Amino acid sequence: MSQGSSQRSEQCPDRRSEQCPGGRSGARPHRVVVIVDDGSNPFELGVATELFGLRRPELDRPWYDFTLASAAPLVRMHHGMFTLSGVAGLDAVDAADTVIVPNRPDPLAAPAPAVLDAVRGAAARGARLVSFCTGAFTLAAAGVLDGRRATTHWRWAAEFAARHPAVLLEPDVLFVADGNLHTAAGSAAALDLGLELIRRDHGAEVANTVSRRLVFAAHRDGGQRQFVERPVPAVPESSLAGVLAWARERLDQPLTVADLAQWAAVSAATLHRRFRDQLGTTPLAWLTAERVALACRLIERGEGGLDRVARLSGLGTTANLRVRLHRATGLSPSAYRRRFAV
């Protein structure tokens, strides 16, 4: 894979900045730089390329400026299965708005000093820093996670906590966002975090479109638990697909956990267990997240006043809408409308 294979296209910077209010075309592209290092995992590199590097003509909007960067002209990927050449040097990190740091199967192997310097420089100027899976070890080795919240793969959580006690590790969640630092727990969680970043940059509607193309869940909240090892049941659990689809069609109604359990013909306790096992969350938390996501889409589509958005999304009142939306996006409904409404 060479630098020529990574697509360069235009996109607004993070819409929380003032560099590109409203995401209109003609603004400076948001630059995503993925640092690759010897031993890097190819899956997470592929996730970053799929999310931020491929052109999205179906979106009819500018996308990201995507670059691979390395400290060396040749990079041996995981177990030397293949080699990258022709990637940019680490000076590309100096102009990046988002920097995705390396991870590797053996996170105890020290990253290249030049990589750590590049990460520290990006942190000092306020760039968005992202790690997938064991990439949190790279951020921690650079010293940028001290006193900050982060996560990593559950398999390495104890080792991470022992090596980096100054980091506020959250070992059971899918991903963590702490200011400009974003860490994902594992390989699949990298997709969750990537879609969350797209949602923050472009809004819920665009993130949903990208997730559909990936045939991936549109939104799994970062607070959901990682899927850890557990015995495979002799009889597979019944799928939640039916009750989830039924509930999504009725989010504007006063649904309760008892309503969901009744539709699924199980007890509330059984429903809770299935949600925990299959989705890593509770029925009530899932309902709230779905309603917030619907509210975001309604605002983006220019749906009436906030009272109508609150009613149609099932959040009830404008006060609850404001609290839930701010908790999920960091924005008030009016600010969200200014940035994402079509």
Domain hosting residue 197, numbered range: 3-214
Do 316 and 178 lie in one domain? The reply is no
Do 193 and 283 lie in one domain? The reply is no
Do 70 and 193 lie in one domain? The reply is yes
Do 177 and 297 lie in one domain? The reply is no
Return d(Cα 303, Cα 291) in angstroms, integer: 15
Sign of the CA dihedral with 164 first, then 169, 172, and 178 last: negative
Do 254 and 203 lie in one domain? The reply is no
* Lookup: tokens for 160: 């991470």
Do 76 and 169 lie in one domain? The reply is yes
Do 246 and 199 lie in one domain? The reply is no
Q: Is residue 123 part of a domain?
A: yes
Among the listed residues 79, 80, 94, the one whose alpha carbon sits nearest the alpha carbon of residue 35: 94
User: pLDDT value at position 79?
Assistant: 65
Return d(Cα 137, Cα 156) in angstroms, integer: 10
Q: Is residue 100 part of a domain?
A: yes
Q: Is residue 234 part of a domain?
A: no
Single-letter amino acid, residue 321: L
User: Do residues 229 and 223 touch, judged by C-beta distance below 8 A?
Assistant: no
Do 111 and 168 lie in one domain? The reply is yes
Do 163 and 296 lie in one domain? The reply is no
Single-letter amino acid, residue 276: R
Do 74 and 28 lie in one domain? The reply is yes
* Lookup: tokens for 268: 């509330």
* Lookup: tokens for 237: 């659990």
Return d(Cα 209, Cα 221) in angstroms, integer: 17
Domain total in the chain: 2
User: pLDDT value at position 8?
Assistant: 36
Q: Is residue 277 part of a domain?
A: yes
Q: Is residue 88 part of a domain?
A: yes
Return d(Cα 209, Cα 206) in angstroms, integer: 5
* Lookup: tokens for 26: 């003609």
User: pLDDT value at position 233?
Assistant: 42
Do 160 and 15 lie in one domain? The reply is yes
Q: What is residue 43's three-state secondary structure?
A: helix
pLDDT (tens digit, 9 = 90+) per residue, 75-111?
Answer: 888 766 788 888 999 999 999 999 999 988 888 888 8
Q: Is residue 282 part of a domain?
A: yes
Each residue's pLDDT expressed in tens, for the chain with a length of 342 residues: 433 333 333 334 343 333 343 344 456 789 999 999 888 888 889 999 999 998 888 887 889 999 999 988 888 887 667 888 889 999 999 999 999 999 888 888 888 899 999 999 999 999 999 999 999 999 999 999 999 999 999 889 999 999 999 999 998 888 999 999 999 998 788 998 999 999 999 988 888 888 888 866 555 555 444 444 444 344 445 678 889 999 999 999 999 999 999 999 999 999 999 988 888 789 999 999 999 989 999 998 888 899 999 999 999 999 999 999 988 888 899 988 888 876
| Eight-class DSSP state of 173 | B
Do 132 and 249 lie in one domain? The reply is no
- CATH of residue 86's domain is 3.40.50.880
pLDDT (tens digit, 9 = 90+) per residue, 204-224?
Answer: 888 888 888 886 655 555 544
Return d(Cα 75, Cα 67) in angstroms, integer: 15
User: pLDDT value at position 240?
Assistant: 87
Q: Is residue 119 part of a domain?
A: yes
- CATH of residue 331's domain is 1.10.10.60
Residue 300 phi/psi, 5° resolution?
-60, -35
Instruction: Give the pTM.
Output: 0.72
Single-letter amino acid, residue 73: P
